[in-house]
Each structure stands twice: as structure tokens, then as C-alpha cells.
A and B are shown apart, each in its own frame.
Chain A
Amino acid sequence: MQKDNSSASTSLLSRNVKIEGEVRGEENLHIDGQIKGSIKLDGNILVGDSGVVEADIEAANVVIQGKVTGNVLARQQLEIQPSGQLIGDCKAQSVEINEGAVFEGRFHMLKSSKVPSKPEASPFAPTKLAAAKENQK
């Protein structure tokens, strides 16, 4: 299931939309708007140019083009692009910080074998999950 990221659909939070609270699930998320709270996804997160995130983030791959304030846990890779800004501590298996990017905080590299615990199983009941899988087929 974990490796299934690429087949997950991508949710989009557009520019003028704001979420205050918790975001969870097995999706990729493209953030052009604002999120305050916490994000925990099985998929990937892209914080777009206009994205502003004040939240702790947990995801497989995290790409930052906008502004992020909070702690980031990328189970695989963290990338901060030239327009990106990250203020907070982060953990990732690998990292790419491009010239021009802003990063303030600590970085902890995860060992590849020791992937941290998944986000507490899945927020979905197993039955639902199975049903969702079947639907996809």
C-alpha cells in the first residue's frame, strides 16, 4: 500500500482557499492556498508558489515552492526549490535544497532501512479501504 503512492489521486487546494485543521488521507496534495494545522498523508505534498502552510507535515515526498512554517517529516525526499521557504525542523531520507531557498531549522536524515512508523495504520477502516480498492479496479 505504501508503495502505491503514484496511483493515488491528487487533491488540489487552490489559491484562495484556506483550511484550518487536520488533513489526512492517502492522497497527493497540491497546496496553492493556505493550511493551518497538521497534514499527514501517505502520498506526496507539493506546496506551490502561492502556498502558505503553517502546519506539521508528514508525507512521502515533500516539495516546497512556497512558504512552510512547521516541522516536516518526509518519509522519502524533501526538496526545497529556489522560491521555497521552510522554517522548522525536518526529517527526511534525502534532501535537496536549491540555491535561493530559505531553510531555518534542524535537519535529521533518516536511514533508508529505518522508515519511521506509518501514520498510525490508516485513518480508514479496513473494510472501507478494501471497498475503495475494488472501486479503483
Chain B
Amino acid sequence: MEFKKTENDGIVIYELSGRLDTQSAPDFQAVLDEGFEKDENKIVLDCKNLEYMSSAGLRTILYAKKCIDKNETDKADEISAQKGFLKLINVSDEILEVFEMTGFSEFLSINGSSND
């Protein structure tokens, strides 16, 4: 998998392409970790060019969501403008089906139709 990282007004956008799979997921998780260490907690994953996502990818997404939520709890007193989030946009029907069957769609914001 390859990705392009851009930042706009405190929002970090990762444009993912290829496969978020058992080979690439650990590397991408390390990239996200580097961002979390720099307090990057407004994350958008653009999945327009993502071919597929296996359970290894799901684990990385869950990890990121928990990190952001934990950060929110730790900084509960800060103003709402600082609130972090994780959004997935341009998710294909196939990948969306994986999110739905695993129940991930219940707690993730996907394609802009937030369930949060």
C-alpha cells in the first residue's frame, strides 16, 4: 500500500492506495503512531484508491480509533474545537461491506455519514 499525507488546517488526510493488508497494515500503524505522538488527532482516510482491507487493516483502524478516543478522554477539559476524529471517505462498496459485517460501521464515521 502507498499513501500520500497532507495537512490542512489541523486536519491530516491520508490518501490510501493499494491494499491495507497483512503486509502493509503494521507499517501504516507505525505511521499513524508517529502522527499521534505529534498530537495529530483529526484524521481523514481517503479510501478512493484503496483496493481492499483485510482484518489486519481493520485492526489498524480500530487501533487508531481507540488512540484518538483515549486522547479525547485525556483532554476532556479542552475546548471542543480541539476535538479529534477519525473519518473514512470514498469507501468502496466492497470495503463498506467488510465494515458492516464486522460491526465497525457502528462506531466509525464512513463516507461522511457519521454514526458517531
A and B interact: no
